[in-house]
Amino acid sequence: MRRRTVITGIGCVTPLGTNSDELWNNLVAGKSGVGKTTLFDASNFPTRIAAEVRDWSIADEGEDANVWKDRSRHSCFAAGAAKQAMADSGVLDSVDPTRFGVYLGAGEGQQDFLHFSEMMAAGLKGDEFELKGFVEKGIEVLDPTAELEQEPNMPVGYLAGMFNAQGPNVNCLTACAASSQAVGEATEIIRRGEADVMLSGGAHSMIHPFGVTGFNLLTALSERTGAPEKVSRPFDLNRDGFVLGEGAAIVVLEEYEHARARGAQMYGEILGYGTTADAFRITDTHPEGRGAISCINMALADAGKNKDDIHYINAHGTSTVVNDKVESLAIRKTFGDQADNIPVSSTKSMTGHLIAAAGATELIVCLMAMRHNVVPPTINYETPDPNCDLDYVPNTARDHTCKTVLSNSFGFGGQNITLVATAV
C-alpha cells in the first residue's frame, strides 16, 4: 500500500494577501488584487495593469532584508511563504533532515530582464548591437549575482539551506502548471517512501518589461484600460485575456503516520494526481479538451473517486477566450450532468495569474474552502457565455459543504495537472 500524504502547513505571499488568512478573507469578500503596474513604467505597453505584491518585505517574515536585497523577487516570495508554512506546521524539530526535501515549481527570476539589459548595453554601438563589443566588454559589466539569481532553481536551494532539508531537492518549470506538478511529484516522493516531509509549491514574478512583452506578443494579456479591478473576468462573455500576477505559495506535505505521531494539524490529504500533455500546440489547448479530460480522469482514478464525489472545482480559469471555453467543455464531458451540481470558480478573477505559483495558491484556496465549507466566487461575471455553461459561483462567495475538491492547472506547452484533495 502506498503511503498517505497530508498537508500540515500552508503559507503564501500573493497580490491579494501576504498570508493565507488574509488571502482567504479577501477572496471570500470578492476583492481584487489588480491595479496599475508600478514595478516598471508600462505607459508605452498595451497592458498597463498587473496583480503585484504590494506593501510586503522579506523583513516582515523575520529575515534580514540586507541579506536578501540582491536576491530575486521570486526567491524572496518563496522564502517568505516557506517560513509561514514551516511555522504553521511546526514540523522542523520532528523530521530527520535526510528525510526532508524541497520540490518547487518556480519560474525564472526577475533579474532575467536586468541581466539582458546589461548584456545589451555591453554590446551596443550607437543604436546597433555589436557582438565584438559585447565579447570585449561583457565580462567587465555583467553582474554575476544577477546571472545567478535569474536561474529558476535558486529558490529550492535557498529553502533547503534555510531549513536544513537534505533530502530530494528539485525544481520543475512547466509554465502555469508548475507548482501543481511540484505538489503532485512531491506527493509521489512521499508515497514511495523516499521522504517523510516535503516543502512544495511555487514562486514566480514576470511583471517586468521582458515578461509583459512576451505575453503581449502572444495576445494572452487583457489590454483593457478601464478599472483594473474589473479586468480579470473568467468565463464571462466579454473576457479578453488574463492579468499577470506574481507571488509564492508553499505547503508542507507530510506522511500521514509521521504527522499523526506528532499530533499535527491536517488541512487535507492529497488523494489524486493527474498529469498529461495535449500534444497539440505550444500556446493553445486542444479544442476538444483531450488532455484536460484525460488529466481530470487520471486524478480521479488515482484518488479512487468518481464524478459524484467532488464538491468543488477550482478552475484554471485564466480569463482567456479559448482556455475558459475548453476547460468548461472538459469539465462537462468528464462529469456529465453531475457538472451542474458542482460549484466551479476561478480565483484568478481576484489574484490575477501567478503563472508558476498559480496552482499551489489555488490548492491553498481549496484547502481553506474545505476548512470553512465556503467556496470563493468568480468576480466580474456579468454576461454569460453560451460556451461556458457551468455554475461559476458568480460574484458572491457561497456556503457549501466541501469534503473533496479538485484543482486544475493547465500550462503553455499543453501541460495539464489536476490535484484532488480531501478533508482528513
pLDDT tens digits, one per residue of 349-388: 999 999 999 999 999 999 999 999 999 999 999 999 999 9
Q: Which of 290, 286, 268 is nearest to 403 (CA)?
A: 268
Question: So what's the pLDDT on residue 245?
Answer: 98
Residue 355: C-alpha distances to residues 1, 243, 359 (Å): 35, 10, 8
The span from the CA of 262 to the CA of 56, in Å, is 33
Phi-psi region of 279 (alpha: psi -120 to 50; beta: other; left: phi over 0): left
Q: Among 67-81, 106-120, 139-153, 391-405, where is mean pLDDT lowest?
A: 106-120
Question: So what's the pLDDT on residue 98?
Answer: 98
Rounded to 5 degrees, what are φ and ψ at 6? -120, 165
Q: What is the pLDDT of residues 259-268, one digit of tens each?
A: 999 999 999 9
The span from the CA of 386 to the CA of 85, in Å, is 41
Mean pLDDT of 393-412: 97
Question: So what's the pLDDT on residue 322?
Answer: 94
> Quick check: 410 pLDDT over 70?
yes
> Quick check: 45 pLDDT over 70?
yes
Rounded to 5 degrees, what are φ and ψ at 162? -60, -35
SS (H, E, C) 104-118: EEECCCCHHHHHHHH
> Quick check: 141 pLDDT over 70?
no
Look up cell 512521499; give the residue. 190
Question: So what's the pLDDT on residue 10?
Answer: 98
Q: Coil, strand, or helix at residue 50? A: strand
Other C-beta atoms lying within 10 Å of the C-beta of residue 393: 20
Mean pLDDT of the chain: 93
List of domains in the chain: 5-110+150-422 (3.40.47.10), 113-146 (no CATH)
Whether 353 is catalytic? yes
Look up cell 511546526; give the residue. 90
> Quick check: 255 pLDDT over 70?
yes
Whether 76 is catalytic? no
pLDDT tier at 284 (50, 70, 90 boundaries)? confident
> Quick check: 151 pLDDT over 60?
yes
**Enclosing H/E stretch for 326:** helix 321-335
- Hey, what's the cell of 27? 477572496
* Of 353, 366, 388, 402, catalytic: 353
- Tell me which amino acid residue 372 is: H
Contact 292, 322 (CB under 8 A): no
> What predicted TM-score, i.e. pTM, was given to this entire model?
0.94
pLDDT tier at 138 (50, 70, 90 boundaries)? low
Phi-psi region of 342 (alpha: psi -120 to 50; beta: other; left: phi over 0): beta
The span from the CA of 46 to the CA of 66, in Å, is 35
Contact 31, 25 (CB under 8 A): no
Contact 182, 103 (CB under 8 A): yes
Other C-beta atoms lying within 10 Å of the C-beta of residue 298: 18
Question: So what's the pLDDT on residue 126?
Answer: 62
Q: Does the CA dihedral 374-376-381-382 come out positive or negative?
A: positive
Mean pLDDT of 67-76: 92
> Quick check: 113 pLDDT over 60?
no
Question: So what's the pLDDT on residue 368?
Answer: 98
Q: Which of 20, 18, 17 is nearest to 9 (CA)?
A: 20
* Of 12, 172, 176, 295, catalytic: 176
DSSP bridge pairs for 13: 248
Q: Among 167-181, 282-296, 334-348, where is mean pLDDT lowest?
A: 282-296
- Tell me which amino acid residue 2 is: R
| Percent of the chain whose predicted confidence (pLDDT) is above 70 | 92
* Of 12, 76, 316, 366, catalytic: 316
| Percent of the chain whose predicted confidence (pLDDT) is above 90 | 84
DSSP at 14: B
SS (H, E, C) 179-195: HHHHHHHHHHHHHCCCC
> Quick check: 150 pLDDT over 80?
no
Where does residue 357 rank: exposed (0-12), middle (13-18), buried (19+ CB within 10 A)?
buried
Q: What is the pLDDT of residues 292-340, one digit of tens each?
A: 999 999 999 999 999 999 999 999 999 999 999 999 999 999 999 999 9
**Enclosing H/E stretch for 424:** none
Rounded to 5 degrees, what are φ and ψ at 375? -110, 135
Mean pLDDT of 154-163: 97
Look up cell 481553506; give the residue. 368
The span from the CA of 351 to the CA of 242, in Å, is 11
Contact 191, 255 (CB under 8 A): no
Whether 172 is catalytic? no
Q: What is the pLDDT of residues 126-137, one digit of tens each?
A: 666 566 766 666
Q: What is the pLDDT of residues 206-253, one digit of tens each?
A: 999 989 999 999 999 999 988 999 999 999 999 999 999 999 999 999
Question: So what's the pLDDT on residue 1?
Answer: 75
